[in-house]
Amino acid sequence: MIRVVLPAHLKMLAKVSGEVELEVVGTASPASVIDALEERFPMLLGTIRDPLTRQRRKFVRFYACERDLSLEPIDVELPDDVTRGRSPFFVIGAMAGG
Amino acid sequence: MSGVRVLVGTRKGAFILRADGTRKKWDVSGPFFGGWEVFHVKGSPVDPNRIFASQSTSWFGQLIQRSDDGGETWEPVGNQFTYDGVPGTHQWYDGTPHPWEFARVWHLEPSLSDPDTVLAGVEDAALFRSVDGGASWSELSGLRGHDTGSAWQPGAGGMCLHTIIVSPKDPRRIFVAISSAGAFRSDDEGTTWRPINHGLHSEGLPDEDAEVGHCVHRIALHPSNPDVLFMQKHWDVMRSDNAGDSWSEVSGDLPTDFGFAIDVHAHEPETVYVVPITSDSEHFPPEGKLRVYRSRVGGNEWEPLTKGLPQEHCYVDVLRDAMAVDSLEDCGVYFGTTGGQVYASSNSGDSWEPIVRDLPAVLSVEVQTLA
């Protein structure tokens, strides 16, 4: 079981509060977690990855275990603490303000 | 009893303002999609309970929302806007080639005859159509593929297709406008297009009378007379009496002919409304006075409408899709401002009252007149 923390905009869109728990088949990577997320919440299709290129949107980052995984290969295996459900996988929207 | 539903898109969500036919007491609901930019919300003329909304952010991209119960509940539908074929390039601000990139949907235009069909005008400029209620979208690529497409350039707000009008008398005829490529017309349901910019004159272009390159801000028409078009260009208010084949200036005695919004009275085809804005660098009303100008004679002669509008220290803007009219017997006129006010007139503009004062910056206003 993978725990996923979504940014506020996407929680609202998916109509969830708190963390999302997902079962991921095979190797748990950012790509497979997002695949599982989109399968369960089809309204999130295209919001984290560009629908055409399937690449991470430029204002979206992936964090886990106090590391920024955004620039790692999207199919890299997630840390053990994430795959065991001890620590969440974070989808982060770039900070906005003024 | 008759009533109206005002659909408001803002920088931070959508709002729905409802009133009965007297338009005296308003019920305000929202925000819907709070925190997201909502560029446009528009209802189907065939099924008023079907409403489409364009929801986006730079962070998470584009969504299209659809309501089938008059805006009570919403569901996301299709958000895949893929350009047909190899998109190629248009001109960037500096004149260099720049790849066509989808950014957002600026305008949604539901069909006049089929509740499942809707057109979408997008940035970078292209026209898409859905025939399944927004579930899937395909490009009408004859427009972007026009011979001039590679020469189109963005305006300051991006290269957006912001105006879509389907002729009420001939559904094969579609008008669109693009900042800053100009106006285009199709007479075959969007398959082929031609520029309709003859008579437009734009300082800042190498050829000031060029076939394309004009920053058209909005076009409006009256349904009973769809060959007569009114245009608010970057500078200049224009009129065409031949479906855009040629244009003449009707700015007349306006205090400034820069502006964004333009619309036509529901029952008087020669009564036109604009909101003059000081200049392209000063996006606020002249002298800090918010004035709608009305022409009863199709342009050139304009009267300021000020009753109920702030006449000092007002420095808001009224954006291109932020004015609309209802079709009740005494025509209602509505507009929203970047200061978050939505003003309504229930007497053709003679006097105004704010429906709401403190919304996020208003991007669009549409009105549904309900039986």
The residues facing B104 across adjacent strands are: B123
- Report how far residue B365's alpha carbon sits from residue B69's, in angstroms, rounded to the nearest whole number: 19
Q: What is the pLDDT of residue A54?
A: 87
Q: Which of A15, A50, A52 to mutate to test the interface with B (most CBs of B within 10 A)?
A: A52
- CA dist B15 and B18 (Å) reads 10
Write phi, then psi, for B288 (nearest 5 degrees).
70, 20
CB contact under 8 A, A12 and B80: no
Q: Which of B69, B60, B59 is nearest to B16 (CA)?
A: B69
Specify the CATH number for the domain of residue B54.
Answer: 2.130.10.10
Residue to mutate among B37, B59, B65, B80, with most A CBs inside 10 A, is: B59
Query: Distance between CA atoms of B120 and B117, rounded to whole angstroms?
Result: 10
Would you call B60 and A51 a contact, using CB atoms and an 8 Å cutoff? no
Reduced to 3 states (helix: H, G, I; strand: E, B; else coil), residue B284 is: coil
What pLDDT, on the 0 to 100 scale, is given for residue A96?
A: 66
State which H helix or E strand residue B342 sits in. strand B342-345
Local confidence band at A97 (pLDDT 50, 70, 90 cut-offs): low
Give the C-alpha distances (Å, rounded to integers) separating A60 from A92, A96, B101, B308. Answer: 6, 12, 18, 45
Mean pLDDT of chain A: 93
Residue B346 backbone zone (phi > 0: left; psi -120 to 50: alpha; other: beta): alpha
Report how far apart, in Å, the C-alpha atoms of B231 and of each of B95, B159, B302 are: 26, 18, 15
For residue B148, the Cα-to-chain-centroid distance in whole angstroms is 23
Q: What's the total number of domains in chain B?
A: 1
- d(CA B57, CA B104) in angstroms, rounded, equals 8
Angstrom distance (rounded) from CA B236 to CA B231: 8
Which of the residues in chain B have pLDDT under 70?
1
Residues of A with Cβ-Cβ distance to B59 under 8 angstroms: 7, 9, 57, 59-60, 93-94, 96
B212-230: per-residue pLDDT in tens?
Answer: 999 999 999 999 999 999 9
**Cβ atoms of A60 and A94 closer than 8 Å:** yes
Task: Give the pairing of strands B262-264 and B248-249.
Answer: unpaired
Q: Where are the domains of chain A?
A: 2-93
pLDDT above 90 (res A51) = no
At residue B147, the pLDDT reads: 95
pLDDT in tens, A7-27: 999 999 999 999 999 999 899
Residue A98 has pLDDT above 70, yes or no: no
Q: Which of B191, B188, B190, B208 is nearest to B199 (CA)?
A: B208
Alpha-carbon distance B47 to B68, whole Å?
A: 9
| pLDDT tens digits, one per residue of A70-93 | 999 999 999 999 999 999 999 999
Q: Which segments within B167-271 are labelled E, that is strand?
A: 174-179, 182-186, 194-195, 216-221, 229-233, 237-240, 248-249, 262-264
Class of domain A2-93: alpha beta
Using a CB-CB distance cutoff of 8 angstroms, which residues of chain A are in contact with residue B60?
9-10, 13, 47-48, 57, 59-60, 93
B109: domain range? 3-370
Residues contacting residue A73 through CB under 8 Å, at least 6 positions apart:
none
- The Cα–Cα gap between B349 and B261 comes to 15
A32 touches B at CB < 8 Å: no
Grouping H, G, I as helix, E, B as strand and the rest as coil, residue B213 is coil
What is this model's ipTM? 0.91
The DSSP H or E segment spanning B39 is strand B37-43
Distance (Å, whole) CA B366 – CA A1:
46
B35 shares contact with chain A (CB less than 8 Å): yes
